[in-house]
Amino acid sequence: MSMKSASGQQKAPQDWLKDLNEYVVDSIQRSIIFTDILRKRGNNYIKHIRGGQPPVLTFNYEMILNAKNFERPVNYALVRISDRRREDEDTPDSQERRHPGKERVIRPKRPIVIIDPRAGHGPGIGGSKRDSEIGMALEHGHPVYFILFYSEPIPGQTMADVIAAMEKFMENIIERHPNADAPAVMGNCQAGWAAALVCAERPDVTGPLVLNGAPLSYWSGVAGVNPMRYKGGLVGGVWVNSFLSDLGNGVFDGANLVQNFETLNPANTLWSKQYNVYSHLDTEEERYLAFERWWGGFFMLTTDEIHYIVRNLFVGNKLETGQLELREGQKVSLKRIESPIIVFASMGDNITPAQQALNWIPRVYSSVEDIRRHGQVIIYIVHKDIGHLGIFVAGSVAKKEHKEIIANFDMIEFLSPGLYEMVIEGDVLAGKFTTRYEKRTFDDIAAYDDGTEDETDFSVVAKVSEANDNMYQLFMRPWVKLWTTELSAEVLRHTHPLRTQRYIFADTNPLMRPVKNIASITRQNRKPASADNPFSAMEKDFAVYLENVLNIYRDYRDLRQEHLFQLIYGSKMLRSFFPPPEKETPALVDEIERADYDKRLLAMEEGGHAEGLIRVFMAIARIGRGVKRRHFEIGTEIARTHKALKKMRPAEFKRILKEQTAILQADEDKAIEALSVLIKNKDDRMEALSIARRLCLVDGVYNDAEKAIIDKLKKGMKL
């Protein structure tokens, strides 16, 4: 008698017994080694805690400013990455170029500041690999700064104090690099909205803003897909965070935030993550332990901080509506950000859905024309499937998206105002990419969503949350504080499930001490099962089955919670007590904008040859086609060599560029007609037209839009 194996081959009974024996030995050995890996994870956790939970950066760094010493102290610090990637440069701050017959030219590189999220975890994940945001910035020769934070907040610190400290960091960087452009700021996840606040409050000390998986539109999402946005409403709003902070004796435990992430995907938390290590012991141990060192580092927030974040942002959604106040009576508007904004989102992100990363754009600005009127450049990139952490952790993303973002900072600042999608095409392994900027409309952003009607329920949540929080603070908080001590808070923190599951496997548990020696012997006598072992195949099938069961549970749970949310906050009775706000009618252009428009019209004929050439550049840039790197390279080559432009300082060039863009925005026809006034010499006008033709011929042929603008320029310059 014989039976078929998993591969379809006939097997005798004795062969099955052999396979079973082989599988049993392999599974026992893997169980022992996996237990030892958990032991190492627990030891690493305790060691990390005792060491003060330093950043998980793989790069060396030097301390620049410690905000613990500020007049309003906070638990933040500014460090500079001291590693270097490009050994061919004299300094990491400059890029050298040699031109035949010309003296050596040193052009300072703009600094780049990277901020990691303070959302329960510690800093460093954005630089935990060599191929990372930090690594790409170093590779391009930029001086790189990192804003880190400590595990324990300074008692009494507020979000206003934190933002003020970051602004001081930016001022210090400006002082250290007086000849370079303002620093670019890269904010990961929740650090994105913090970076946006800094850029909105102090546009004078910040350059391009990069938002990686950063939520700025907190109510957005797709029905049946993004369940995390319902959690706040289902627990009654911000009062829960107030309660947990009071139990922590004025400190909110970041492990509670991490637990929210863990419950989002039970299949990964309870099974897949661990099974992946168990089934690939020889290749996954190092990666797993490195990631768990960061994932298991839980950082605290003060009561004021967590209350401000949840009340005003996640529940109140006040940032995109312009109602957010960092300081009493001072509202923060994202329209005040002057430098370009790059938004990096992913359709595979279940923590910050693409809608939460993008929908603030059509809320803050009334139209793409409004974006142009404010002289703003907004660029977005949407990855097809990378997860939330992959946006700022995955090496493939670092070597493609982040590499191209950093490489194109110089080009981005010279784009004509408007909304663009950054399209990157190329081979990650080869490292060769082509990048272009396609003009987009608000309809392109709306296509990622299923409508905004469901967001009305969240406005009801915001009002219910306020009422519940007031009730809690009035009736419950005094009693909770009465029975809370620092000892009780410490007990709650140490018995948190996410901590217990780590130190219970550490060597502090006497039962785990023999595991090290047993695992060492097991590794020396490792006998993995053969690749075609049928019992190993059955194990993998069972793993897939269990993962699917947990996914079905997750989908049912999420669907049930979504329906419950809609049932509660969509009810007419509740809305009679907490009515949603009426929809606002689009506002007309106010008197200030009208005065600004009139000012631009009066400036049509102000300037000379340089202003005229830059106006020609921007007129070409405004036509509706994708902007490629080659367009920028030709433009910068002309700007560097042309007699009217080459002596101009970069800051002066950018100032004139913004002015001419605004003039074209006000009335393109009149602006082009005035070119003959700016460029008085006919030969210079002929040369300007030749430059326009060269810029349009980047792709080898004229398209209809390019033909039209050339004809318009020719008539405007009276040629």
Residue 103 scores a pLDDT above 60: no
pLDDT of residue 93: 46
**pLDDT-derived band of residue 9, with 50, 70 and 90 as boundaries?**
low
pLDDT of residue 627: 58
Stretch 105-109: mean pLDDT: 66
Q: What is the DSSP string of 192-242?
A: HHHHHHHHHH-GGG---EEEES--S-TT---TTT-GGGGHHHHTTSTHHHH
**Can you read off the two tokens belonging to residue 599?**
């000012």
Question: How would you write 593-611 as a 3-class SS string?
Answer: HHHHHHHHHHCCCCCCHHH
Range in 406-410, 490-494, 646-650 with the lowest mean pLDDT: 646-650
Percent of the chain with pLDDT over 70: 89
- Alpha-carbon distance of 35 to 246, in angstroms, equals 37
Looking only at the bridges linking them, the beta strands covering 112-115 and 184-188 are: parallel
**pLDDT-derived band of residue 102, with 50, 70 and 90 as boundaries?**
very low
Radius of gyration of the chain from Cα atoms?
29
More confident residue, 518 or 588: 518
**Can you read off the two tokens belonging to residue 171?**
């001022």
Q: Classify residue 588 by its DSSP letter.
A: P
Cα distance from N-terminal residue to C-terminal residue, the chain: 96
- Alpha-carbon distance of 100 to 209, in angstroms, equals 36
pLDDT of residue 603: 72
**pLDDT-derived band of residue 101, with 50, 70 and 90 as boundaries?**
very low
**pLDDT-derived band of residue 84, with 50, 70 and 90 as boundaries?**
low
pLDDT of residue 88: 39
For residue 515, give the H/E element and its range: helix 515-524
pLDDT of residue 506: 95
More confident residue, 668 or 226: 226
Percent of the chain with pLDDT over 90: 62
Residue 461 scores a pLDDT above 50: yes
pLDDT of residue 87: 39
Stretch 249-277: mean pLDDT: 95
Type of residue numbered 576: S
Cβ atoms of 290 and 125 within 8 Å: the answer is: no
Distances (CA, A) of 351 to 120, 189, 550: 14, 9, 19
Residue 408 scores a pLDDT above 80: yes
Token look-up 């768990």 returns: 292
* DSSP-assigned beta bridge partners for residue 209: 185, 341
Stretch 613-623: mean pLDDT: 77
**Rounded-to-10 torsion of CA 653, 656, 662, 663:** -130
Residue 28: half-sphere exposure toward Cβ, Cα within 13 Å: 11
Cβ atoms of 19 and 533 within 8 Å: the answer is: yes
**pLDDT-derived band of residue 655, with 50, 70 and 90 as boundaries?**
confident
Range in 325-339, 577-591, 664-678 with the lowest mean pLDDT: 577-591
- Coil, helix or strand for 189? coil
Q: 497 — phi, psi (to 5°)? A: -55, -35
494-499 contact pairs (CB < 8 A, 24+): 496/253, 496/255, 496/256, 496/259, 496/298, 497/259, 498/255, 498/258, 498/259, 498/262, 498/296, 498/298, 499/45, 499/255, 499/298
Classify burial at 130, counting beta carbons within 10 Å of its beta carbon; exposed 0-12, middle 13-18, buried 19 or more.
middle
Q: For 61-98+108-219+317-451, CATH number? A: 3.40.50.1820
Type of residue numbered 571: S
pLDDT of residue 591: 47
**pLDDT-derived band of residue 584, with 50, 70 and 90 as boundaries?**
low
pLDDT of residue 596: 58
pLDDT of residue 665: 76
More confident residue, 85 or 429: 429
More confident residue, 615 or 263: 263
**pLDDT-derived band of residue 357, with 50, 70 and 90 as boundaries?**
very high
Residue 650 scores a pLDDT above 90: no
The mean pLDDT value of the chain amounts to 87
pLDDT of residue 173: 97
Stretch 200-214: mean pLDDT: 95
Tell me which residue of 439, 461, 711 sits closest to 575, measured CA to CA. 461
pLDDT of residue 106: 53
* DSSP-assigned beta bridge partners for residue 433: 426
∠ CA 286-288-291 to the nearest 5 degrees? Answer: 105
Q: Where are the domains of the chain?
A: 61-98+108-219+317-451, 591-716
Residue 10 Ramachandran class (φ > 0 left, ψ -120 to 50 alpha, else beta): beta
Residue 546 scores a pLDDT above 60: yes
pLDDT of residue 96: 41
Distances (CA, A) of 438 to 217, 242, 403, 667: 23, 45, 19, 23
Q: Counting every residue, how long is the chain?
A: 719
∠ CA 565-571-573 to the nearest 5 degrees? Answer: 135
Tell me which residue of 308, 366, 569 sits closest to 455, measured CA to CA. 569
